[in-house]
Amino acid sequence: MTNHALSGAQIVIECLKREGVDTIFGYPGGSAIPMFDAILDTNIRMILSRHEQGATHMADGYARETGKVGVALVTSGPGATNTFTGIYTAMMDSVPLIILTAQTTTPNLGKDAFQECDTCGMTFPIVKHSYLVKNTNDLTRVMKEAFHIAQTGRPGPVLIDLPKDILAGPCTAPFIDKMDLPGYTIPTYADEEAVKQAAEYIKKSKKPLLLAGHGAMISGAGKWVKELAEKLNAPVTSTLLGLGTFPATHPLSLGMLGMHGTVYANKAVLDCDLIMSIGSRWDDRITGKLDEFCKDAVRLHIDIDPAEEGKVLQPHVFMCGDAKLVLEQLLPMVSKLDTEDWIKTVQTWKKRYPLTYPKQGGLRMQHVIHTVYKQTKGKAVVTVDVGQHQMWTAQFFGADYPRQLHNSGGAGTMGFGFPAAIGAAFGNTTDWPVCCFVGDGGFQMTLSELATAAIHKLPVKIFVLDNKFLGMVRQWQDLFYDKRYSGVNMEGNPDFVKLAESYGIPGLRIRRSADAERMIQKALAYNDGPILIHCECEKEDNVFPMIPAGAPISSMITEPPKTQLEKPTGST
Amino acid sequence: MQETAHSLSLLVANRPGVLVRIALVFSRRGYNIDSLVVSPTLNPNFSRISIVARGNPEILIQIIKQLEKLIDVIHAKDHTDMSVVEKELALIKVRYELDQRAEILQLVEHFKANTIDMTENSMIIQITGNTDKIDAMKALCQKFKIVEYIRTGKVIMLRGEEET
């Protein structure tokens, strides 16, 4: 079929429809006008953000929530550059995005025309792939390929740069279904020999530990992870992004491992004789000092990305494939292990070192998060920003379901949490509320999206956990830099309740622990759009347990230290 | 870890930006590219890129995997220590006194090189071969005055029937 009547912009929209896109997030500008014009004639929802970074994080939140591709549409120049933080965030966490950036006309490329920038050149390191379309007839192919690449294999952001004359020009190319991408292969099942070898190692293990990562969640492998854990009788720990893949309330669950992970998960890492990563990439937040991480244990690694083999640590067996399919291969090869003693030990640790927080003093972020968890019975979509409250959410909101907890993990992007909540709310098909935990620092980076939440009356509960500090940096300065606080005081914060009200969003305030129960109940019961809950929290609370960056897991700190600690050697 | 030189061969799709994407993989991992040759293949949709790069061999394994991840890279192979034909071409412009000319021409003949330009006091020598041979020729020319010197970088082709 040919489309003589359609312009480039109409073709792009038609391709979006064919890919099943019903919602896009965007912000217009001169070069993007043809796109925004074409959208008017479709039933695709265009959600207008207040900043392009917001639109990108919304698309990201939408993608994480639904598992579908998130789409952002912005203009050229600053419109494009404002998306970069969002693109990088998605790249680090393997989130499928399509970023449509408009561009100046093709004759103007490279001439410093108004709002021209080399968008593709500037984003090469942070995209899975990108296109600069210079011929209108390439559009159908590019759109097809982009969606395919974004959501298959290890997902990631794909950027399409669209010059205005390409959007305006007529396109006669047919829509296509077939693609010719000889350089792109999608791993499915792993090499049978490798899986057999892994099974042999597992059979010999007395103290196995499974590690569920984001890859397991993306692959939809939750059911298989559970089946394997129960079949072997092996405990399961999760990375930050893997939380929810294996239910937190399952007796074999150890919660999150790593820098601010549970004591029992980290003890299990220290003591296990075999660790199997299912779709995690041995991030430095979980390994601590690499030379000492599981150095005497057998290390098995399942990953869909062949380049993850040996990138950080050398596994005994690497199984390249889709987590779900590889577990399908592995399951019939293994049987129940003799892990009675191991499980007993792990359970003892769980009892002896539970996650706790001080009950005295002012309002604690942990208390707010845990109360929301209890009141929703864990049935809420949760998006989080970055910092102390993020770690406490990982600790005190025990996710039982995949795609329930949305974090900027790899990038640690402050400003992610709130727009991601908006995106997640648009994608949410459950009757669960969307709860956003955000610090006073991160919230102020993207709070202009309050308008977006307000106009669409999104059922988002915005918990601003305000300690008037950039808490995580302050914690480091407290523990490692002689309490020399520098650049962390958030003096000048607005009155967040009044701020919300000025957008037409009701605000509540919690100042005392004693009020938390009642106010959170009120917030959760509110059903006429977004609500902001300003939680004035204890100013100088620290997150424990903690493994200083670059230190071995054995140097875990479980309570406030009495003396000044050595400066960490690891990155950030 | 010892830095070693590696000869890589890449088959890539002729798409804009492919060279930048490749270069970024090297620079991000701290690898120096000594030479890089891009040439068309029999199929106009693809190009062959021959790269000589220097660095830690363990990192190179990662680099190859990262290169293969690029959508526009069909494959990337390390041909170091494999049975391959490796050739490069160099042009050496030498200045000399008239009485030295015979000696230089002898050198040229010995190395099966050619003179492709000559004046009374200068000539351009063209030499093809493997890296060692060209290095040796250059070293001997240093006795005279080398005015300018340029090399194409290595091109690599697998020996035998198989495609590189």
**Do the domain assignments include residue B8?**
yes
Are A310 and B61 within 8 A, CB to CB?
A: yes
| Residue in chain A lying closest to B12 (CA) | A183
Report the pLDDT value the prediction gives residue A567, as an integer from 0 to 100.
86
Integer Rg of chain A from CA: 24
Are B20 and A121 within 8 A, CB to CB?
A: yes
Mean pLDDT of chain A: 96
Tokens, residue B26: 């090297």
Domain boundary among B82, B115, B131: B82
Could you tell me the pLDDT band of residue A1, with boundaries at 50, 70 and 90? Answer: very low
Say if residue A285's pLDDT is above 90. Answer: yes
Q: How far is B55 from chain A (nearest CA, A)?
A: 16
Report the pLDDT value the prediction gives residue A568, as an integer from 0 to 100.
85
**Do the domain assignments include residue B151?**
yes
**Do the domain assignments include residue B75?**
yes
Question: Do B66 and B121 reside in the same domain of the chain?
Answer: no
- Please write the tens of the pLDDT for every residue from A417-473: 999 999 999 999 999 999 999 999 999 999 999 999 999 999 999 999 999 999 999
| Residue in chain A lying closest to B28 (CA) | A125
SS (H, E, C) A165-203: HHHHCECCCCCCCCCCCCCCCCCCCCCHHHHHHHHHHHH
pLDDT, mean of residues A169-197: 95
Report the pLDDT value the prediction gives residue B10, as an integer from 0 to 100.
97
Domain count, chain B: 2
Question: Do B31 and B20 reside in the same domain of the chain?
Answer: yes
CB atoms within 10 A of CB A428: 22
Residues of A in contact with B16 (CB under 8 A): 120, 132, 134
**Do the domain assignments include residue B94?**
yes
pLDDT lower than 70: segments of chain B: 1
Question: Do B9 and B76 reside in the same domain of the chain?
Answer: yes
Q: How far is A423 from chain B (nearest CA, A)?
A: 28
% residues pLDDT > 90 (chain A): 95
**A345: helix, coil or strand?**
helix
Around A263, how many Cα atoms within 13 Å sit in the side-chain half-sphere?
17
Tokens, residue A456: 């669409």
Structure ipTM:
0.92
Nearest to A149 among B28, B71, B74 (CB): B71
Nearest to B72 among A120, A183, A305 (CB): A183
Residue A128: active-site member: no
Q: What is the CATH number of domain A192-352?
A: 3.40.50.1220
A6-171 and A365-541: identical CATH topology: yes
Which one is catalytic: A52, A145, A308, A536? A52
Question: Do B70 and B31 reside in the same domain of the chain?
Answer: yes
Residues of B in contact with A149 (CB under 8 A): 71
Say if residue A569's pLDDT is above 90. Answer: no
Q: What is the domain partition of chain A in residue ranges?
A: 6-171, 192-352, 365-541
Question: Do B55 and B90 reside in the same domain of the chain?
Answer: no
**Do the domain assignments include residue B35?**
yes
Residues of B in contact with A128 (CB under 8 A): 71
**A243: helix, coil or strand?**
coil
Q: How far is A301 from chain B (nearest CA, A)?
A: 16
CATH of A365-541, one of 3.40.50.970, 3.40.50.2300, 1.20.1560.10, 3.40.50.2000: 3.40.50.970
Residue A293: active-site member: no
Tokens, residue A102: 């408009």
Are A307 and B75 within 8 A, CB to CB?
A: no
Which structural domain range is residue B22 located in?
Answer: 4-82
* CATH code, domain carrying B48: 3.30.70.260
Are A183 and B13 within 8 A, CB to CB?
A: yes
Question: Do B103 and B69 reside in the same domain of the chain?
Answer: no
Residue A39: CB partners within 8 Å, gap ≥ 6? A13, A24, A46
For an interface test with A, which of B41, B69, B163 has the most A Cβ atoms less than 10 Å from its Cβ?
A: B69
Report the pLDDT value the prediction gives residue A5, as an integer from 0 to 100.
73
- Please write the tens of the pLDDT for every residue from A486-502: 999 999 999 999 999 99
**Measured between alpha carbons, how far is residue B142 from residues A225, A537, B92, B93, B112 in Å?**
67, 75, 10, 11, 18
CB atoms within 10 A of CB A524: 18
Question: Do B76 and B104 reside in the same domain of the chain?
Answer: no
Say if residue A474's pLDDT is above 90. Answer: yes
* CATH code, domain carrying B117: 3.30.70.1150
Rounded (10°) angle between helices A52-66 and A84-92: 20
Could you tell me the pLDDT band of residue A44, with boundaries at 50, 70 and 90? Answer: very high
Residues of A in contact with B21 (CB under 8 A): 124
Question: Do B47 and B103 reside in the same domain of the chain?
Answer: no
Say if residue A3's pLDDT is above 90. Answer: no
Report the pLDDT value the prediction gives residue A563, as an integer from 0 to 100.
82
Nearest to A125 among B28, B61, B72 (CB): B28
Are B74 and A307 within 8 A, CB to CB?
A: no
Domain boundary among B82, B112, B137: B82
Containing H/E element for A56?
helix A52-66
Are A120 and B17 within 8 A, CB to CB?
A: yes
Report the pLDDT value the prediction gives residue B1, as an integer from 0 to 100.
61
Q: How far is B59 from chain A (nearest CA, A)?
A: 9
Which one is catalytic: A10, A53, A115, A404? A115
Domain boundary among B82, B99, B133: B82
Residue A505: CB partners within 8 Å, gap ≥ 6? A450, A453, A454, A462, A529, A530, A531, A532
CB atoms within 10 A of CB A110: 10
Residue A114: active-site member: yes
Report d(CA B18, CA A442) in Å as an integer. 36
**A352: helix, coil or strand?**
helix
- Please write the tens of the pLDDT for every residue from A67-111: 999 999 999 999 999 999 999 999 999 999 999 999 999 999 999
Question: Do B72 and B94 reside in the same domain of the chain?
Answer: no
Looking up tokens 């830095």 gives: B3
CATH-assigned architecture of domain A6-171: 3-Layer(aba) Sandwich (3.40)
Report the pLDDT value the prediction gives residue A496, as an integer from 0 to 100.
98
**Do the domain assignments include residue B161?**
no
